[in-house]
Structure 1
Amino acid sequence: MDSSKYRITPKQTPIKLADYPTTDNKQLSEDELQDKWIPESINKLQDLHLKLHAEEEKGIMVVLQAIDAGGKDEAISFIFSNLTAQGLKTTSVKKPSETEVKHDYLWRIHEGKPSRGEISILNRSYYEEVIAPRIHDVLDNDPLPDHLIDEDIWKVRFRQLNDFERYMTENGFPVIKFFFNVSKDVQKDRLLERMKNPKKNWEFSFSDIEERKHWDTYQEVFEDMLNNTSTDYAPWYILPADDDWYARYIISEVMINVLEKLNPQFPEFSGEDRQKLDESIELLEND
């Protein structure tokens, strides 16, 4: 798969979400994806992740961002849940608590950052800080110094987020970001399924309906975010999220590409440790 077609490069002219298809799978059937391509991809991903975890030199931070019913939770269930549990961390970023509001806006993200040898998943992320306050115009309610709240605050935050991701990358924690580009019609269908299916009622929130009323504003804010924060070192990938299984396949393949570049290896015994290991093997075999 050529996943680069879904990647936003900084050299591009400002992108429009309307130019990115929400469905793009013209070659593989859903059965082929579920039975062949995704399992094969996950097997590769599992092997690379196990090496990353064993080596404990680098980590990866994955950002999943979408409007409600975009497909983030399902991607975690069908892709990342197959990885080694000890080397995986998932954090859901929700409305900040009173304690979190009293700190800088990145403070609450630190527990969700990966350790060396770990992949951390942010189900929504620090990007909420340049989305939700713009949709609902609630920034004035935060205890921020007055001089920080002006028309340039979003540009400032974009720069800060780019700097944060550069810092993470330069310290051995590359950042991979996926935006689930779902259509309004498919979001409607998914929300209705959650509402009508008793087994999925728990996934539904009445706030989802309220947020849907802001659809056009969300698209504008998403575009601004994508155009200002996709960098060479921490790119955004725009997923055709109406094709849920195909979107998951893209995620898996992108993760494989990143891990192959990191090239993690299983640690090997050498020198005195090798000799001690051989002696321990002999001792145990003769037990």
Structure 2
Amino acid sequence: MKNFSPEDFKVTSKISLKNSPTKLVIDKADDQLEDLRKELGKLQDTMYAHSKYAVLVCLQGMDTSGKDSLIREVFKEFNVRGVVVHSFKVPTELELNHDYLWRHYIALPARGKFGVFNRTHYENVLVTRVHPEYILGENIPTVNTVQDIDDAFWDARFEQINNFEKHIANNGTIIFKFFLNLSKDEQKYRLLRRLDKQEKNWKFSPDDLKERKLWNNYQACYEDAINRTSKPHAPWYTIPADDKDSARYMVAKIIYDTLKKYTDIQEPELDDKIKVNMALYRKELEKE
């Protein structure tokens, strides 16, 4: 595949993950990414100076789908002051003493910065939906047993997530949500690689195999979450993830092409008084 548009992967109508591609190879994707991430870095510098928009990049996918390496490769040319990565794991005791969106809300990027969520607020309608017993740890007043977690509970939670994203979008956050669509066969290969390569051993956990047995459950939950929450202000993109180089390039290009449409993102003009006195300031410095 030589050329593509962000619209090719944007979810604008109901999708079926079973019928969505998991592998798509782009010619010289690694070389193209090298050039593109430099342009992304320049764009981020402009956004930092402009300081009117924040960018939130949400990454979701099954274990081994390539989230960590994608972050490393796509954002390599960013000034470190301009991007903050949050990897959300099992909630801490402090986080469980707040509502489930609290830890995500306080991690949102400031205007002028990029925030990357490695796993996101969607874990609260994915892993907890596959394992509803985890909800009991949130100490919600109306939930005392797993039987209290019914369809109405999930309907409400999806509405809360949609409202959360609508609120931050209305206040200047540009949202990208990427589902790295990995095949079960490719996951098997990558898990075996973790076992075979000593430097990858630390990434392996027996829990990976337990969760793999729930593959179909997770796919159903991902599909439902994507279909319920892909909105014009916070769209989902389903990215074929079996080829890592291509997936990284697709994510970078979607971010770049979308942000370039914001024609108001410009470096701020110098104050007129400073402009008029530029020669004077130069002369003062040269006299030192």
Task: Please give the TM-score of this superposition, normalised by the length of structure 1.
Answer: 0.93
Match of 1:125 in 2: 120
> In the alignment, does 2:145 pair up with 1:143?
no
Fraction of identical pairs, as percent: 36
Measure how far apart 1:44 and its partner are.
Answer: 1.8
Q: Does structure 2 conserve the Cα–Cα contact (< 8 Å) formed by 1:61 and 1:113?
A: yes
Task: Please give the TM-score of this superposition, normalised by the length of structure 2.
Answer: 0.92
* Secondary structure of 1:283's aligned partner: helix
Match of 1:5 in 2: 8
- Give structure 2 stretches of 5+ with no counterpart: none
> In the alignment, does 2:276 pair up with 1:275?
yes
Q: Does structure 2 conserve the Cα–Cα contact (< 8 Å) formed by 1:49 and 1:259?
A: no
Q: Say how many residue pairs are matched.
A: 279
Distance of aligned partners of 1:141 and 1:115 in 2 relative to their CA distance in 1, 3 Å threshold: closer
Match of 2:185 in 1: 185
d(CA) in 2 for partners of 1:181, 1:63: 14
Alpha-carbon RMSD: 1.5
Measure how far apart 1:174 and its partner are.
Answer: 1.3
Q: CA offsets per residue over residues 242-265 of structure 1, 9 Å max, x none?
A: 021111111111111222123322
d(CA) in 2 for partners of 1:34, 1:141: 43
Query: Which residue of 81, 84, 88 corresponds with 1:89?
Result: 84
d(CA) in 1 for partners of 2:93, 2:280: 57
Measure how far apart 1:160 and its partner are.
Answer: 1.0
Q: Does structure 2 conserve the Cα–Cα contact (< 8 Å) formed by 1:180 and 1:239?
A: yes
Correspondence list, 1:164-179, <5 A: 164-179=164-179
The one-letter code matched in structure 1 to 2:5 is D
Measure how far apart 1:7 and its partner are.
Answer: 0.6
* Secondary structure of 2:117's aligned partner: strand
The one-letter code matched in structure 1 to 2:140 is L
Q: Does structure 2 conserve the Cα–Cα contact (< 8 Å) formed by 1:65 and 1:72?
A: yes
The worse-fitting range, judged by mean Cα deviation, of 198-207 and 128-137 is: 198-207
Q: Does structure 1 conserve the Cα–Cα contact (< 8 Å) formed by 2:99 and 2:138?
A: no
Q: Does structure 2 conserve the Cα–Cα contact (< 8 Å) formed by 1:72 and 1:123?
A: yes
Match of 2:17 in 1: 17
Measure how far apart 1:179 and its partner are.
Answer: 0.2
Q: Does structure 1 conserve the Cα–Cα contact (< 8 Å) formed by 2:132 and 2:149?
A: no
The one-letter code matched in structure 1 to 2:8 is K
The one-letter code matched in structure 2 to 1:271 is D
d(CA) in 2 for partners of 1:286, 1:258: 46
* Secondary structure of 2:238's aligned partner: strand
Distance of aligned partners of 1:201 and 1:278 in 2 relative to their CA distance in 1, 3 Å threshold: farther
Measure how far apart 1:202 and its partner are.
Answer: 2.2
* Secondary structure of 1:262's aligned partner: coil
* Secondary structure of 1:82's aligned partner: coil
d(CA) in 1 for partners of 2:277, 2:150: 64
Q: Which runs of 4+ in 1 moved over 3 A?
A: 147-150, 275-278
d(CA) in 1 for partners of 2:258, 2:101: 25
The one-letter code matched in structure 2 to 1:7 is K
Correspondence list, 1:108-123, <5 A: 108-123=103-118
d(CA) in 1 for partners of 2:159, 2:140: 18
The one-letter code matched in structure 2 to 1:158 is F
Q: Does structure 2 conserve the Cα–Cα contact (< 8 Å) formed by 1:89 and 1:120?
A: yes
Match of 1:285 in 2: 286
Match of 2:56 in 1: 61
